[in-house]
Chain A
Amino acid sequence: MTSSPVITSVGLLTALGAGRQAVTDAWREGQMGEPLADGAAAGGRRSVAVKARGLFPEQRGMLRRMDRLSRLISVSAALARDDGQGLGDPKELGLAVGTDLGPLEATWNFLTRLREKGPALANPMDFPNLVPNAGAGYVGILLGLQGPSQTFCQHELCGDEAIAWAADGVRTGWFPGALAGGAEEFGEVRARGQLATRCSDEEQVLGEGSALLLVESQERAEARQARPLARHLGFRAETVKLRSPLLIEFHGDALERLVSRTLDSVGARPEDVGAVLASPARQPEIAEGVERALGRSVPATDHDVRFGTFASDGALRVGLAALLLSDRSLPVNANGELRDGPLALVVSVARGGGLCASLLGEVEA
């Protein structure tokens, strides 16, 4: 397993705070995220723009042109840049962003203007922001990332998948490292749409945020004396046939098979998994499927009520898993449970029948 890619920086912009230290402190203290109803997610709506200006003081013009989702992605990219030992040579890095809904609020606003003012007055400054890869495009420019760039949009798997793409690219020698993760914005259009289609319910805490991690080869990390937080050991995605292809269902048996295959694919033992970060966390079918695969109950995070949920939050959970693996004293949940093994399992279930599992491991001292 020594050749597995390592995670060396995390850029977290969440309802619990911005940056590794703030998020870790709030998590350790068992804090809950700021309620979104107050517009305080990710430190408050206005403060995302303020943060962005502080992190990219030379690029205020570009930041003004961005939509909100692109700003979230840019801020978390800068937080990853400023975390740990930074990014190293950015030109050789790839970039992958997961986002299910993309720039939804900006798209709504563009269509509203189209309806009210007509096509002749469509704003040419707005349209480029409406492609899902706009955020990745801006980050590439801001940080000078010139490797392959992907934007993944397969619902709740997209954040996990972006990081797995980066790990695979490093593992196969395609590129030496990549910034990868996911982001989603919160807004009225998303909230109303999710409630109308029952993709969420009134008990679910809808969240927003962005998490970008630096995934790189161990050799690159060593060369720049960057301390790895965790290893990305493996990833597997499968699909289960649903009664309705556009909805979400939970199949514990399918998840059990997926987790077992993921462990087998990297030669890992179920008893070594010491923490589970699954979403949606409170679905009993998910917990039971994972428990059957692991043969026991493993401490699980309560991230969904503390960060809120969003489709690409698999990236946030992979980042949290890396932090749990780098610091054994960091509790897995607000109950203060500690991880009891050297591996962390991140599981996501998506609309359309997608399931995925990522396996992360401790880095040997």
Chain B
Amino acid sequence: MTVDRPVAVTGFGVVTPIGIGRTSFAEGLRSGACGVAPITLFDASAYRSQVAAEVSGDVIAAARESSLASGITVSRRYGRAAQFATAAVAEALHHAGLHAEDLGDSETGLALGGSTAGTLEAEAVMLEVDDGEGFWREVSNLQLLLAPVGSTADILAAGMGLGGPVTTISTACSSATNAIGQAMRWIRSGRCTRVIAGGADSLTRLTHAGFNSLSLVDRERPLPFDARRDGMVIGEGAAFFVLEDEARARARGAQLHGRVLGYGAIAEAHHLVQPRGDGDGAARAMGLALADAGVETDRVDYINAHGTATPHNDAAEGRGIVSVLGRRSQAVPVSSTKSQVGHLLGASGAVELAACVVAMNEGFLPPTAGWAERDPEIPLEDFVAGGARPAQVEHCLSNSFAFGGNDASLCLGRV
């Protein structure tokens, strides 16, 4: 039997290049901060681009209060991505008024989107040895165990003492959006009453080298939707949400910060790397999310775009938005949070959904930082240029499109 239950956001936590924690992140969004800077995590002098949006500051110290309140230990032991993930989960649980001891039942699940897990730590060994045999001599068992993408979820599940289903979805840049969509489906169907959902990724040499090799990386800063755009800048961080069956959340007196109303996911079946130029894949994902939410296009107040700042993506996404919203596309503000935090790859959808939750609850639109020059190839009007601006957002879309043609979109509603 299919059970359909409204899904509420009762807490969230973030670790981003423009701020660790909800308050800092919201301030960063509002001020138009940009987290892009020269890479410090590794020697990037031989790369085409030498910038990235790294998380700076002491994540463990920033998460101390949440960690104590939620019973989640945040440590460096399990690597950078896991550190981001545990800090964001600790904050999300604290925000939701939950403690790890509340999560041992079989109806509380975890859905994580990611792509790098412990790659940063394992590749460091690989790149510092003389040959492959050297790797096997130098690498630790812990580094090997942390390398598979599912390991971050293992650490979170153990830290929370979770009793329900745990999943890791890795669909490149739409991983977290798909994980949150899966979490929503678990709750709607009655499989879970509560799911911790989100994404975490750290910067790695592997991804930086890969996107550099494809000439998809800007050497200075990302300029989504701008005529001068020349590619993405890779970022890192995490965002996690506590999603709950709304009736159960209300019954325990939880504060609601939004509703995940709809989820659309499709395969473009077109090209492994490039989106369809007409934006058909993007349009189908957005259209399905709206249909799933039961929200008409004239009720969409804001779109947080995938907006990578690569020439192909932004033009295709713009056409896709026009295809879905029609003439209204010229009135709906569209911005890209990647202009501020970079492209967090597997975690990007989670951080961008967090930007939507902030927009709804704090009454402002996050900007497309740095936007200045219109591109005639992008048929949209309002990119929230010149800084954040006040707005009441009732319904919005958050888009994530990925290698493999994995497009996904979430529709969020204000409570």
User: How distant is the Cα of A239 from the Cα of B171 in the complex, in angstroms?
Assistant: 23
Selected from A94, A131, A197, A238, the residue in CB contact (under 8 A) with B165 is A238
A247 and B154 CA atoms in complex are apart in Å by 9
Residue of B158, B185, B404 touching A352 (CB-CB under 8 A): B158
CB distance from B171 to the nearest CB of A (A): 4
The answer to whether A140 and B267 have CB atoms under 8 Å apart is yes
Q: Interface code B190-232, partner A: CB below 8 Å = 1, 0 otherwise?
A: 0000000000000001101111111100000000000000000
Establish whether residues B155 and A134, one from each chain, have CB atoms under 8 Å apart when the complex forms. Answer: no
Complex Cα spacing A308 to B381, Å: 57
Task: Give the residue of B139, B155, B269 whose beta carbon is less than 8 angstroms from that of A145.
Answer: B269
Q: Which of B46, B145, B153, B189 contacts A118 (CB 8 A)?
A: B46
B269, A353: Cβ atoms under 8 Å? Answer: no
CB nearest to A174 among chain B residues: B185
State the CA gap A138–B106 with chains docked (Å). 36
Count how many chain A residues have C-beta atoms less than 8 Å from C-beta atoms of the other chain: 74
Q: Is the CB of B210 within 8 A of A130?
A: yes
Q: Are A352 and B150 in contact (CB under 8 A)?
A: yes
A-binding segment of B249-257, B270-278, B370-378 = B270-278
Give how many A-B residue pairs fall within 8 Å (CB-CB): 221
Contact residue among B166, B178, B214 (Cβ-Cβ distance under 8 Å from A150): B178
| Interface contact B170-A353, CB-CB below 8 Å | no
A202 to B209, CA, bound (A): 36
Query: Does B363 count as interface, using CB distance less than 8 angstroms?
Result: no
Nearest CB on B from A163, distance (A):
13
B403–A110 CB distance below 8 A: no
**Residue B74 CB within 8 A of the other chain:** no
Min Cβ gap B281→A in Å is 9
Give B273's nearest chain A residue, CB to CB.
Answer: A128
Tell whether, in the assembled complex, residue A120 and residue B170 are in contact, meaning their CB atoms are under 8 Å apart: no
Given contacts A111-B206, A119-B47, A192-B136, contact A354 B272 (CB under 8 A): no
Within 8 A of A (CB), among B358-415: 402-406
CB distance from B322 to the nearest CB of A (A): 21
Asked whether A241 is an interface residue with its Cβ less than 8 Å from the other chain, the reply is: yes
Q: Are A196 and B136 in contact (CB under 8 A)?
A: yes
User: Which stretch of A9-17, A152-160, A225-233 is in the interface?
Assistant: A152-160
| Residues of B247-289 contacting chain A, CB below 8 A | 265-273, 284
Q: A131-B404, A155-B154, A193-B144 are in contact. List 6 more A-B contacts (CB 8 A).
A: A102-B170, A115-B126, A122-B210, A193-B147, A237-B165, A261-B106
Closest 10 CB pairs of A and B: A137-B404, A245-B158, A352-B154, A127-B210, A237-B165, A148-B265, A149-B267, A122-B213, A140-B267, A124-B213
A-B contact pairs, 8 of them (CB 8 A): A111-B127, A132-B171, A133-B406, A140-B268, A148-B266, A158-B150, A236-B165, A352-B150
Identify the B interface with A (CB < 8 A).
2, 46-48, 104, 106, 115, 123, 126-127, 129, 132, 136, 139, 141-142, 144-151, 153-155, 157-159, 161-172, 178, 182, 185, 189, 205-206, 208-215, 265-273, 284, 402-406
